[in-house]
Chain A
Amino acid sequence: MNQVNPAAHEVPFVQLLTPDGQRVTDAEHSFDGDRAAIEGLYRDLVMTRRVDVEAFALQRHGELGLWPPALGQEAAQVGSARALKAHDYAFPTYRDHGVAWARGVDPSLLLGVYRGTDLGGWDPADHQLALPNIIIGAQTLHATGYAMGLTLEGLVGTGDSERDSAVIAYFGDGATSEGDVSEALDWAAVHQAPVVFFCENNHYAISLPAANQSHVPIVQRAAGFGLPGVRVDGNDVLACHAVTQRALQRARDGQGPTLIEAVTYRMGAHTTSDDPSRYREAAEVAEWKAKDPIDRVRLLLEAEGTTPEFFADLSAEADALGVHLRQACQNMPEPDLAELFDHVFVESTVENQQQQAEYVAWRASIEGSVSA
């Protein structure tokens, strides 16, 4: 019914690096890093993709129950997350493997949720990174509340760059339909909370094209809530970095929230359980393949004189990461239900303790009867 949303294509976006590797300028945004900085981002992109490729293979080998690929969205994730300072905070989704990578998480910790051994992976305080959220959109409110807390603690707009902090919330195009996301945009604007809303518009929510979710380009929603909106080429890591850095700095300076719409594409299936051939054309995928977020950076670096050794070393590093992921995956400890009872509450309840004891006794009886 609602397939065509012509306006969606007409809104310009910020681009600093074209698909064929040419640097271009933007009136308000620039990427200030040198070649080494771009090499650093390139490494992040390559390593993120390797995580994805390995995890996908692990799922196909039955080691993971499911995997949601980030394939094609590496630039949006890496570019934005690398604009964060260590003391900023991020709230990611299940697909944001590149964000976890950029926050210094050992990527093998991403696998537990999908292997079925864990529900989390890391201590959020270690990386200033919340656990990935599967409930669509909910984390945008968490980010807003966290940002309100920063303001309450006087960590915004002091002019001290070691102190001033911001928050970023990741979410998809589909998520923009959930009430939580509209409520978050509204609250953040009303409270002028130091939060950046980073929407990865990968064009699909499972089978549904983005036009099913929003009758206007997502970026235009910002105006209605009273916050600035920026559209960026989500496959351009330099532009994603520049745009996010600017929005984060506004937030840290006490100038309030920003909505960023990163226009990218989900190159893979929604998850390994999904079959996208049922709802999209191969030609569309091919069109986006030509806009790959990694190829364009490689073209740029090659033109700018990055050495072949750099690429060779990186490729070896990615191979080593692959080995690490495979080993770590297979060695993940099995979850122990008896232990899980300990984590339901801070202060355990009588019922909880009784059921734990009952479970432990029952398992002992089973093991006893097996060995007997």
Chain B
Amino acid sequence: MRMTMVKALNSGLRIAMENDPKVLLMGEDVGRLGGVFRVTEGLQKDFGEGRVMDSPLAESAIVGTAVGLAFRGFRPVVEIQFDGFVYPAYDQIVSQVAKLHFRSRGRVRMPMVIRIPFGGGIGAVEHHSESPEGQFALTAGLKVVSCADPHDAHWMIQQAIASDDPVVFMEPKRRYWETGEVDTETAPAPLWESRVVRPGRDATVIAYGAMVKTCLDSARAAEDDGLDLEVIDLRTLSPLDLGPVVESVRRTGHAIVVHEAARTLGLGAEIAARITEECFYSLESPVQRVTGYDMPYPPSRAEHEFLPGLDRILDAVDRARAY
């Protein structure tokens, strides 16, 4: 079935709610409006105001009350309206959600999903295009995943809800309205695995979220130059599943990591370190990083210069191969 990522998430949420009465949705405007992106459209009508709650405008309260609901055995799925609005909840996420299982020596579980539409490329005003995933990925006790296409969105949201650990679920809002084939029948790939989405021989390009499509487009463009790029969708950012990456880089000898978040101390740094540790003798060039720059997100009319695009990705591939 072809559908947008928004629809795919919506149908995934619906199935999770049908399967488990303990699953609750909370967030700003998620009820009657169906969320500003309409991801929760129709769910309040069908499941009632008790299970799909329009929360007051208070992110700390959204996550903090979700902690209490989880104590009571519920499985809250909370929506943070935009990436840049998660910070009022940062304390609850980092100091409470991430630590309660550990502090209680495993007695307390926080089976919570924190959905965050993230990333730029949609011409939005400030605070609406950020990439905070690294800040959660480096917080011990949180798991972080990101879907890149409607099929994964449909399944990964259900798997994240089924997880007994807290999951920060990063949704690439730039891809919300793109359609893709969703196979609702066959069993999904496991949640904690990365995946080769395009096999290739000449270099390994590693991405997640919205950048997966950008990298696939780059690979297609590179074909014209006779280059065969392998593209890997990380899918899970914490834990990282670098098995397929290591296997790929050992074959290609070149690795290019792509993300929108700033470069310094970003996820690309960890991935580059791990590639260096595990593929040292296969590497023919230093791991390249194509990322956002180390600055607050710029005004949107400069975002195409700020975000990794085809040119910068192919440039990095050339640099690696010319090394």
Which residues of A are interface residues toward B (Cβ below 8 A)?
Answer: 1, 65-66, 94, 112-119, 134-136, 174-175, 177-180, 205-208, 212-213, 273-274, 278-279, 334-337, 340-341, 344, 349, 351-352, 355, 359, 362-363, 365-366
Contacts and interface: CB of A to CB of B under 8 A. Distances in A.
B306 interface: yes
B128 to A, nearest CB: 8
Contacts of B28: 205-206, 208
18 contacts: A113-B299, A116-B123, A135-B85, A135-B87, A135-B127, A136-B85, A174-B57, A178-B59, A179-B60, A207-B29, A207-B54, A273-B36, A334-B302, A336-B302, A337-B306, A340-B298, A344-B294, A351-B264
A279 B33 contact: yes
Nearest to A358: B293
Contacts of A66: 124-125
Nearest to A94: B125
B187 interface: no
Q: Which 10 A-B pairs have the closest CB atoms?
A: A116-B300, A177-B56, A207-B33, A174-B57, A116-B301, A335-B302, A337-B305, A177-B58, A177-B57, A335-B299
Interface in B262-305: 263-264, 293-296, 298-303, 305
Nearest to B126: A119
Contacts of A207: 29, 32-33, 54
A114 B123 CA distance: 9
A114 B56 contact: no
Contact of A177 (B61, B125, B299): B61
Interface residues of B, number: 42
Contacts of B54: 207-208, 212
A65 B300 contact: yes
Contacts of A65: 123-125, 300
Residue of B29, B59, B60, B303 with highest tally of chain A CB at under 10 A: B29
Interface in B23-66: 28-29, 32-34, 36, 49-50, 53-54, 56-61
Nearest to A332: B301
Interface in B78-111: 84-85, 87-88
Contact of B311 (A177, A180, A206, A366): A366
Contacts of A134: 84, 125-127
Nearest to B30: A207
B290 to A, nearest CB: 11
Given A207-B29, A352-B294, A178 B299 contact: no
Contacts, number: 117
A355 B294 contact: yes
B312 interface: yes
A355 B299 CA distance: 18
A344 B124 contact: no
B36 A118 contact: no
Given A136-B57, A178-B58, A208-B28, A341 B302 contact: no
B315 interface: yes
B57 A178 contact: yes
A1 B49 contact: yes
Contacts of B32: 207, 278-279
Contacts of A112: 299
Contacts of B56: 174, 177, 208, 212-213
B184 to A, nearest CB: 28
Given A1-B49, A65-B300, A212-B54, A355 B312 contact: no
Contacts of B84: 134-135
Residue of B59, B127, B295 with highest tally of chain A CB at under 10 A: B295
A123 to B, nearest CB: 17
Given A178-B88, A279-B32, A213 B123 contact: no
B129 to A, nearest CB: 10
Given A1-B49, A119-B126, A278-B34, 17 more contacts: A65-B123, A134-B126, A136-B57, A179-B58, A179-B88, A205-B57, A274-B36, A278-B33, A279-B32, A335-B298, A336-B302, A337-B302, A340-B295, A340-B298, A355-B263, A362-B312, A366-B311
Contacts of A175: 57
B30 to A, nearest CB: 9
A206 B152 CA distance: 30
Contacts of B298: 119, 335, 337, 340
Contacts of A117: 299, 301
Contacts of B33: 206-207, 278-279
B68 to A, nearest CB: 16
Contacts of A174: 56-57
A114 B125 contact: yes
A362 B293 CA distance: 13
A119 to B, nearest CB: 5
B293 A359 contact: yes
